[in-house]
Structure 1
Amino acid sequence: MEEVTLLILEWLGEQGVNAMIRVDAERVRDGRPPWTFAASGGPLSDGLRADGSSAGECMARALVRLREAGVAVPF
């Protein structure tokens, strides 16, 4: 999943979706899932967020949420 993360973000940008993935050091210290994906705009009527314990897990959850929202990510 990590191999295609940048391709997914670029594709989302081309669709008019603002998207990012980040790691939060404070959440690492607190033992919570530190990775967050957030997206809004374009074909998304509401913003969405997905969290995970790794970048791959976070993006896998994000893809599920995007598809549920009607965004057919081709990766």
Structure 2
Amino acid sequence: MTNAKGRWPKVDLESGVEDAVLLILEWLGEQGVGAMIRVDAERMQEGRPAWTFAAGGGPLQGGMRADGASVAQCMGRALFKLREAGLAVPF
């Protein structure tokens, strides 16, 4: 982790990606990538995937989006797409 500012706690990777979401967002910001995760209550009530991750800027060519029925599914897809785009997310 480059430019770590001493705030990276140990993450229990067995407990799921949900525990690392804020760390991932912070790391992306430090790389110059704007990112967010949101939940859409209307889509949740309709039984559609309600979680969305969106990112763009910095070394990320163009924007990207990942959706999922749970935060874990959404972030799992997002991490896969980020790594495909060449961002070695350290979580």
Normalising to structure 2: TM-score of the pair? 0.80
Q: How many angstroms does 1:63 deviate by?
A: 0.1
State the partner residue of 1:8.
24
Letter in 2 for 1:49: R
Cα RMSD for the two superposed structures: 0.6
Higher relative contact order (CA 8 A, sep 6+): 1
Q: What secondary structure is seen at the aligned counterpart in 1 of 2:62?
A: coil
State the partner residue of 1:29.
45
Question: 1:22-42: CA deviations, max 9, x gaps?
Answer: 000111122110000000000
Unaligned runs of 5+ in 1: none
Question: 1:37-70: CA deviations, max 9, x gaps?
Answer: 0000000111000000001110010000000111
Unaligned runs of 5+ in 2: 1-16
The aligned runs of 1:1-75 (5 Å cut-off) are 1-75=17-91
Identity of aligned residues (%): 72
Q: What secondary structure is seen at the aligned counterpart in 1 of 2:80?
A: helix
Q: What secondary structure is seen at the aligned counterpart in 2 of 1:46?
A: strand
Normalising to structure 1: TM-score of the pair? 0.97
Point out the structure with max Rg over C-alpha.
2
